[in-house]
Amino acid sequence: MSVLVTGGTGYIGSHTVVELINAGYEVVIVDNYINSKPEVLDAIQTITGKKPRFYNLDVIDKVGLKKVFQENKIDQVIHFAGLKAVGESVSKPLEYYRNNIDSTLSLLEVMKEFSVKNLVFSSSATVYGEENDFPYVETMRLGTPTSPYGKTKLFIEMILKDVNHANPELNVAVLRYFNPIGAHPSGLIGEDPQGLPNNLMPYITRVAAGKLDTLHVFGNDYPTQDGTCERDYIHVVDLALGHLAALKKLESHPGFVVYNLGTGKGISVLELIHDFEDVNHLKLNYVIDKRRPGDLPAYWADASKAKRELNWETKLTAKDACRDSWNWEKHNSGK
């Protein structure tokens, strides 16, 4: 089986490529390095002993994409490529709509031309919007994501549903990720945001490494156990394995299917900080700051559908993720 992985040198993509290669898949990556680096390919080779075929290409570029499908027999596609910074999407909505939506349209058109029928798409818990109560269940009516980034995920889900409706032969697994953290235990691949990190874990590791002074905890007056926001943090290796489970599911021609990929448990910002301190035997310099606009107090996944239908559930803990993120930060991040 050969799998085309768009965005395969990115954070979640690279971890998924490693698991795909380990499971015996032939992998072809398309990425334009807009948010990743060529070194990731060497790291994948060091971990797996195999270098995947790679195309430096914008997924929007249909001519280039067709060449990829001509030169390789693609059986299945995992579509990670996309811009993902929530805050940036508010100031650059056109870039986000153009990149995320056009890349998906180009990919779908080329897949149709080459009769490739199985697609896994990276969606996000953000599609549940503010309207729903947690835990989020796949059957909920979707909300209205506040950011243009979140809206691209919602729109793409709708596009995929329509395309599957018109062509039921196309099997689509929409995976709604919760909060991916952690890194490969080798420390060779991980999350490497450029500039000031927006997300909690890369901020924590940079403070621990002394690259940033102080971690700001955004609000401790939420209606949660300790007053800080609660999220469903999922180890990126578990998340990667969820994609393999989804590919297997697609082989049974299920049509359009949606799965939450999360642990099913929420933990607070302070709990994550303390897990990080405990497992890595260090102290983090943090202060309580005001709330960050747009943050929801708490949400996590109902992950039972993925367990039932994909036979997938998380095995790694937040502490595992804290250990692996720190290992990655110490050895490689920012190189």
> Looking at the annotation, which residues are catalytic?
149
Binds 217: which of ligand NAD, ligand UDP, none (CB < 5-8 Å by kind): ligand UDP
CB of 300 to ligand NAD, least distance (A): 14
Report how far residue 86's alpha carbon sits from residue 96's, in angstroms, rounded to the nearest whole number. Answer: 10
Site membership for ligand UDP, residue 290 (CB under 6 A): no
Total Cβ atoms within 10 A of residue 87: 13
CB of 320 to ligand UDP, least distance (A): 17
- Site residues for ligand UDP, 3-32, by CB under 6 A, read none
Report how far residue 249's alpha carbon sits from residue 257's, in angstroms, rounded to the nearest whole number. Answer: 9
Site membership for ligand UDP, residue 57 (CB under 6 A): no
Binds 323: which of ligand UDP, ligand NAD, none (CB < 5-8 Å by kind): none
- Name the closest residue to ligand UDP (Cβ): 229
CB of 14 to ligand UDP, least distance (A): 19
Closer to ligand NAD by Cβ: residue 10 or 148: 10
Cα-based distances in Å from 29 to 9, 74, 105: 8, 11, 18
* Single-letter amino acid, residue 171: N
Site membership for ligand NAD, residue 317 (CB under 6 A): no
Closer to ligand UDP by Cβ: residue 72 or 199: 199
Total Cβ atoms within 10 A of residue 326: 23
CB of 202 to ligand UDP, least distance (A): 8
Binds 269: which of ligand UDP, ligand NAD, none (CB < 5-8 Å by kind): ligand UDP
CB of 221 to ligand NAD, least distance (A): 25
Please say whether the beta carbons of 80 and 10 come within 8 A.
Answer: yes
Total Cβ atoms within 10 A of residue 31: 27
- Site residues for ligand NAD, 189-248, by CB under 6 A, read none
Binds 163: which of ligand NAD, ligand UDP, none (CB < 5-8 Å by kind): none
Site membership for ligand UDP, residue 92 (CB under 6 A): no
Site membership for ligand NAD, residue 16 (CB under 6 A): no
Binds 205: which of ligand UDP, ligand NAD, none (CB < 5-8 Å by kind): none
Binds 200: which of ligand UDP, ligand NAD, none (CB < 5-8 Å by kind): ligand UDP
Residues 6+ away with beta carbon under 8 Å from 214: 207, 285, 286, 287
Site membership for ligand UDP, residue 45 (CB under 6 A): no
Closer to ligand UDP by Cβ: residue 227 or 254: 227
Binding site for ligand UDP (CB under 6 A): 179, 198-200, 203, 215-218, 229, 231, 269, 292, 295
Binding site for ligand NAD (CB under 6 A): 7, 9-13, 30-36, 58-60, 80-84, 99, 103, 122, 124, 177, 180
